[in-house]
Amino acid sequence: MSVEKASRKGDDEKGEEQLVVIPSSEYAAKPAAAEGAPMKMDVAVRVTGCSDDLSSGDADIDPKLLELTADEEKCRSIRRQYRQLMYCVRQNREDIVNSANNSLTEALEEANVLFDGVSRTREAALDAQFLVMASDLGKEKAKQLNSDLNFFNQLAFCDFLFLFGGLNWMEGEPDDLSDCDDNIALSFWKAMEKEATSWMAYQEGRLQKLLKMNGPEDLPESYDYDLIIIGGGSGGLAAAKEAAQYGKKVMVLDFVTPTPLGTRWGLGGTCVNVGCIPKKLMHQAALLGQALQDSRNYGWKVEETVKHDWDRMIEAVQNHIGSLNWGYRVALREKKVVYENAYGQFIGPHRIKATNNKGKEKIYSAERFLIATGERPRYLGIPGDKEYCISSDDLFSLPYCPGKTLVVGASYVALECAGFLAGIGLDVTVMVRSILLRGFDQDMASKIGEHMEEHGIKFIRQFVPIKIEQIEAGTPGRLRVVAQSTNSEEIIEGEYNTVLLAIGRDACTRKIGLETVGVKINEKTGKIPVTDEEQTNVPYIYAIGDILEDKVELTPVAIQAGRLLAQRLYAGSTVKCDYENVPTTVFTPLEYGACGLSEEKAVEKFGEENIEVYHSYFWPLEWTIPSRDNNKCYAKIICNTKDNERVVGFHVLGPNAGEVTQGFAAALKCGLTKKQLDSTIGIHPVCAEVFTTLSVTKRSGASILQAGC
């Protein structure tokens, strides 16, 4: 790949510089290199047709150039070529970090050759810019070299770095490198990055004047903070406290944009305020209602009519959330983490603008940034949705009982909310576009839907709302919902007191200035692609939590990722977050716990002929006396028959499914096999013991109905 700076001439015949990336003849003429073969990157730079091209005639040269000395003209030309070399390196990032070639070494050599031709003091700022960029690439390459040292000449690579950077502060001479171990590249980069970063900070003002790459404002000579975290949710707070523990200066910016109905909340993010915590508490309220009904069969005398007090529940839930908000503030203060209730937006490299709810702005700088902004509920984009509907962001602090409720959506949020609203005695309908619980095991999802319908929750399938109208204002009021079939032109209408939208969530990444600093996002979803160390394409910016592309959207995952990231950045750790075999629970009336692969994913990954599914219904002992829901609780494991029947998927429907799943998740992490499960003695009588006696396979078609516990 080479870069050419061409000239376009308009009507006024004045040249306009244009950077053009052209394929080198080597790439055009030759087929792709075989796997493992060295790949050479053409980093040659050609400067042609520019208005200030040294090869042009005097008539095409700016008159000011005529006043420059020959050495100054040469320096200017070389600086231009150097910038183009850096552009070429960025464009070929994937090739450069490939362990099967020496492209980074060649780029360093090319840069050294450029400045060998300059007689005066070399342009240190450009050196620093290139070294910092090369450091980032080199660390990636070094990680590959730890396992594959066959195609990369470490000695030549490090030798060029010594010559190029003038890094005589390193102990020893280049010739001594032959005695170093396989991690020489990684060790060298750690030391070199520190020196190059310091050099860069000293030269930053001059660099901006030379390159004019980042707008009119110079980069900061020093940083206000070591780490600024955008987002005060579970992951961001975990990272902040962990980083502060290692003596780093940390700031957390957290701001809640009010919902269309004006709902907002305190520090702690979705989980604490409008997610896991209030959801589980309201789920518990519904379970207690069922327990009161069951208690009569155990001898308790309970009034025939058991009523629920919505206001009392909301007050209790919000009081608990308030105590958590306060606890987070205290924890940050104790760790000396600076907290500001302000909206963070990138305005340039290493700079961020913080705007509070009064519109007051402050500018801060940091060596590193962590994006942990989470997600917010999606709206339908139809008439009346934002005016009259609520989302889960509103539900958990709703100051009045929602009454007859339509839940729109088939996500776990939709089914969980529908479940506890019905559990406290409300009339609930769920409108579903297609399938329930997309992304989860569909066998389990179907059983959840069947159980909810059997317990009074109505489902309208394959319809979507197209208009929401207010019939009568109030708390609650009356709403008319117009919906259309997804398979035909059929239109239906219904009246409800409340419409709850739970159709999905969108990443909060589009209005925080990521485009200003060049952070790449998935334009369709807003999610941020990262490396296995949660690093974005901009080396000093990291991301964790629900905003990551192709990662699990769960609070404990964000917390784990945040802590481990801080440990890698500031404590020398190399441990990365493991996104495989993450346990989760859906708190529907019949709880669903899962870990590992769904049955569909297992078939896709291993092939149907290579998996065995063991399953069984079971009847919790505590449900026998009230005589409820026999043959509804269900256990299933999915085994890879090509790997000693290793358990690759674990699924359970039943009471306390989360508690059951947590322990088995650890076993799956350790490579649990079916034989090990069979040899485990169960605890009797508990629900989890069913997994120690599973013997019927789906393939056999044998009955799994249970007559007793």
- Whole-angstrom CA distances from 256 to 232, 260, 374, 388, 504 are 10, 12, 11, 21, 19
What are the phi and psi torsion angles at 194 (to 5°)? -60, -45
Q: In what order do the strands lie in the sheet with 611-618?
A: 584-586, 592-596, 646-653, 633-640, 611-618
Per DSSP, 220 falls in state P
Q: Residue 615's closest CA among 542, 701, 526, 495? A: 701
Place of tokens 């739970």: 502
Cβ–Cβ < 8 Å for 79, 210: yes
- Whole-angstrom CA distances from 43 to 92, 165, 247 are 10, 19, 42
Report cis status (omega within 30 of 0) of the bond before 31. no
- Please give the torsion angle defined by the CA atoms of residues 598, 602, 604 and 608, in that order, rounded to the nearest 10 degrees: -120
* CA atoms of 661 and 652, how far apart (whole Å): 8
- The neighbouring-strand residues paired with 346 are 352
**Phi-psi bin for 504: left (phi > 0), alpha (psi -120 to 50), beta?**
left
Cβ-based neighbours of 138, under 8 Å, separated by 6 or more: 104, 185, 189, 192
Cβ-based neighbours of 697, under 8 Å, separated by 6 or more: 612, 613, 614, 615
- Please give the torsion angle defined by the CA atoms of residues 184, 187, 191 and 197, in that order, rounded to the nearest 10 degrees: 100
Tokens of 377: 């509920």
* CA atoms of 305 and 308, how far apart (whole Å): 10
**Phi-psi bin for 103: left (phi > 0), alpha (psi -120 to 50), beta?**
alpha
* CA atoms of 328 and 266, how far apart (whole Å): 10
* CA atoms of 265 and 326, how far apart (whole Å): 12
* CA atoms of 122 and 347, how far apart (whole Å): 31
Place of tokens 């030759």: 30
The number of beta carbons lying within 10 Å of the beta carbon of residue 168 is: 8
The number of beta carbons lying within 10 Å of the beta carbon of residue 242 is: 22
Cβ–Cβ < 8 Å for 383, 482: no
Per DSSP, 258 falls in state P
- The neighbouring-strand residues paired with 636 are 615, 651
Cβ-based neighbours of 524, under 8 Å, separated by 6 or more: none
Report cis status (omega within 30 of 0) of the bond before 556. no
Cβ-based neighbours of 194, under 8 Å, separated by 6 or more: none
Q: Distance of alpha carbon 561 from its chain centroid, rounded?
A: 10
Tokens of 685: 């009588």
* CA atoms of 531 and 552, how far apart (whole Å): 15
- The neighbouring-strand residues paired with 40 are none
Catalytic residues: 684
Q: Give all strands (DSSP E) within 10-138, no chain letters.
A: 15-22, 45-47
Per DSSP, 68 falls in state S
